[in-house]
Amino acid sequence: MNTIKRYLRPEQIRELSLIVIIVIALLIFGTQINNYFSIRTFNRISASVMIITVLAVGQTLVVLTRNIDLSVGSIVGLTAYVAGDIISKNNDLDPLLLVLIAMGIGAGFGIVNGLLVAYGNIPAVIVTLGTLAIYRGLLVEISNAQSILVSNMPDWVGDLPRVNLLTIGDFELRVLVAIAIATVILFQLMLTYLPYGRRLYAIGSNPEAAHVAGLPARRIVFIAYILSGALAGLAGFMFLARFGTITVGAGVGLELQVVAAVVVGGVNIFGGTGTMIGAMLGSVLIGTLEQSLIRMNINEFWKDALLGLFILLAIVSDALILNRLRDLWTSDEMELRVDSEKTQAPVSIEHKETGHVAKP
pLDDT tens-place string over residues 289-322: 888 888 888 777 777 787 777 777 766 766 566 5
Query: How far apart are the C-alpha atoms of 180 and 183, rounded to whole Å?
Result: 5
Q: Are 202 and 215 in contact (CB under 8 A)?
A: yes
Fill in the DSSP letter of residue 32: H
Plot region of 134 (φ>0 → left; ψ -120 to 50 → alpha; else → beta): alpha
Q: What mean pLDDT, rounded, does the chain reach?
A: 84
Each residue's pLDDT tens digit, 51-62: 999 999 999 999
Helical segments of 37-122, H only: 39-63, 72-89, 95-114
Query: Is 84 contained in some domain?
Result: yes
Query: Is 75 contained in some domain?
Result: yes
Q: Which residues contact 33 (CB under 8 A, 6 or more apart)?
A: 292, 295, 296
The CATH number that applies at residue 263 is 1.10.3470
Q: Are 59 and 279 in contact (CB under 8 A)?
A: yes
Q: Does the pLDDT at position 195 exceed 70?
A: yes
CA-wise closest residue to 72 among 61, 59, 90: 59
Please report the pLDDT score of residue 272 as a whole number.
84
Query: How far apart are the C-alpha atoms of 53 and 184, rounded to whole Å?
Result: 8
CA-wise closest residue to 11 among 332, 321, 335: 321
CA-wise closest residue to 235 among 90, 68, 71, 89: 71
Query: How far apart are the C-alpha atoms of 45 and 30, rounded to whole Å?
Result: 14
In the chain, pLDDT over 90 holds for what percent of residues? 45
Distance of CA 117 to the CA centre of its chain: 20
Q: Are 60 and 259 in contact (CB under 8 A)?
A: no
Query: Is 272 contained in some domain?
Result: yes
Query: Is 336 contained in some domain?
Result: no
Each residue's pLDDT tens digit, 221-277: 999 999 999 999 999 999 999 988 888 889 888 998 899 899 888 888 888 888 999
Q: How many helices (H) and strands (E) does the chain have?
A: 15, 4
Query: How far apart are the C-alpha atoms of 202 and 197, rounded to whole Å?
Result: 9
Domain of 98, in residue numbers: 15-327
Query: Is 110 contained in some domain?
Result: yes
Helical segments of 144-216, H only: 155-159, 175-193, 195-205, 207-212
What's the structural domain count of the chain?
1
Query: How far apart are the C-alpha atoms of 343 and 338, rounded to whole Å?
Result: 9
Measured in degrees and rounded to the nearest 5, phi and psi for residue 92 equal -95, 10
Query: Is 145 contained in some domain?
Result: yes
Query: Is 46 contained in some domain?
Result: yes
Query: How far apart are the C-alpha atoms of 176 and 9, rounded to whole Å?
Result: 31
Each residue's pLDDT tens digit, 28-53: 888 888 888 888 888 888 988 999 99
Strands, DSSP E only, in the chain?
164-168, 171-174, 349-350, 357-358
CA-wise closest residue to 210 among 188, 195, 223: 195
Query: Is 357 contained in some domain?
Result: no
Q: Does the pLDDT at position 5 exceed 80?
A: no
